[in-house]
Amino acid sequence: MAGIYLHIPFCKQSCSYCDFHFSTSLKHKTDLIQALVKEIEGRKNQLTEQIETIYFGGGTPSLLGGDDLKLIIEALYTNYTVADKIEFTLECNPDDLSKEKLKELNSAGVNRLSIGVQSFNNEELNFFNRAHNASEAESSIKRSQDVGFENITIDLIYGSPVLTDEIWLDNLQKINDFNVPHLSAYGLTVEPKTKLAYQIEMGELPSLNDEKMVSQFKTLIQNTREFGLTQYEISNFGKEGFYSQHNSNYWKGVAYLGFGPSAHSYLDNKRFWNVSNNIKYIKALNENEVYFEEETIDEKTAFNEYILTRLRTIWGVEIDYIKVHFSAEINTHFKKEIQPYLNSSYLQQLNNKVVLTDEGILIADKITSDLFYV
């Protein structure tokens, strides 16, 4: 079992909070698609396991034309063993999802849409500098369902200076109103070199309010639970059968290949990351130069990553896994550091696994940091 991620680094415009690698110029799109296909073909011997998830992320993959998408998909199916039934996700913006576009995606094999709604409120969408409006956000979901997409996830953001508790409740209610089976909800963060960071630094906007962030996060947990969504990872909520298989595999340490500029890969205890520059990526692929860096993951890093990824999920940290896969020294450290939390209301042990409680979720970063082996 393995997965494939493809980074499509193009966007119509820059969102105020985003620090992902992207370009608002499509000038080099054709060259980049050709380089991407070349990377796909060139790495086919790295992954011989059957592919069970494909994920187009970005950037905005829904900007791809039908011919571009077909070219990439043909390269994947020609060079890798793809399962008959796969989870095939494509990230998209509401303003891209015309009926024709949705049919095109459906016929290409996409069976899961990740729609970047972020908010159903126009004031907040303007604050984020999103390209769509609230009406387009709603109509894109309805059109997707009408075309036949059942596996839909949407993204929402909480904690922004313009998001009131009332608007947040309205945003969450839309999930239930549209019967969306999966939600990814993220607290707004201020990343360096973004417009949002500049606005706060210049005093144009107030700093984010931590108390408001926690309050809206609690509202998120309560409402999604009432809607029948399970919080299977701190920021992800889904109905049974609609959890993101691709992202779940990340958290479970399953191998994956990442194609495209800035994409990461994880194989055989090694991590690879591609150059985060479109021109350098294209040039390197065209001239058969190295376009990525790599590292071998040592035991300490492997343990810390296991704690970081698994503690965030309902699958939790497996005690027997740590006992078998890590040294006696790390096991001693783990038992010492986790015991105070097991004696508290923040963690609970369920047979072989340790999971966060509702209270523990609120301080997950601190617990994770305390459990790290440094």
From the list 224, 133, 132, the residue with the least C-alpha distance to 173 is 224
Mean pLDDT in each 10-residue stretch from start to end of the chain (374 residues)?
A: 95 89 88 98 94 96 94 97 97 97 96 98 95 97 97 98 97 98 97 92 92 97 97 98 96 96 95 97 97 97 97 97 97 97 95 95 97 96
Pairing assessment for the beta strands 353-356 and 317-318 based on DSSP bridges: antiparallel
The pLDDT value recorded for residue 25 is: 86
Tell me the two tokens of residue 92: 């998209």
pTM over 0.85: yes
- One-letter identity of residue 283: K
**DSSP bridge pairs for 270:** 267, 296
pLDDT of residue 319: 96
In this structure, the number of other CB atoms found within 10 A of the CB of residue 339 comes to 11
Answer yes or no: are the C-beta atoms of 112 and 152 closer than 8 Å: yes
DSSP class of residue 14 equals -
270-282 b/e (C-beta count within 10 Å ≥ 16 → b): ebbebbebbeebb
Residue whose pair of structure tokens reads 């059942």 in the numeric block: 150
Q: How far apart are CA 66 and CA 224, in angstroms?
A: 35
Architecture of domain 2-250: Alpha-Beta Horseshoe (3.80)
Distance from C-alpha of 159 to C-alpha of 163, rounded to nearest angstrom: 7
Other CB atoms within 10 A of residue 222 CB: 12
Radius of gyration, CA atoms only, the chain? 21
CA 82 and chain centroid, separation: 22
Residue closest to 39 by CA, chosen among 361, 256, 292: 292
51 vs 66: CA distance, rounded Å = 22
Assess contact for 143 and 97: CB atoms under 8 A: yes
Residue 23 has what DSSP assignment? B
Amino acid 362: pLDDT:
95
Measured CA to CA, the distance from residue 168 to residue 52 in angstroms comes to 35
Residue 357, Cα to own-chain centre: how many angstroms? 23
- How much is the pLDDT for 238? 98
Q: Which amino acid is at 337?
A: E
Distance CA 187, CA 15 (A): 15
Handedness of CA 199, 202, 205, 208 (dihedral sign): positive
Sketch the domain layout of the chain as residue ranges.
2-250, 300-374
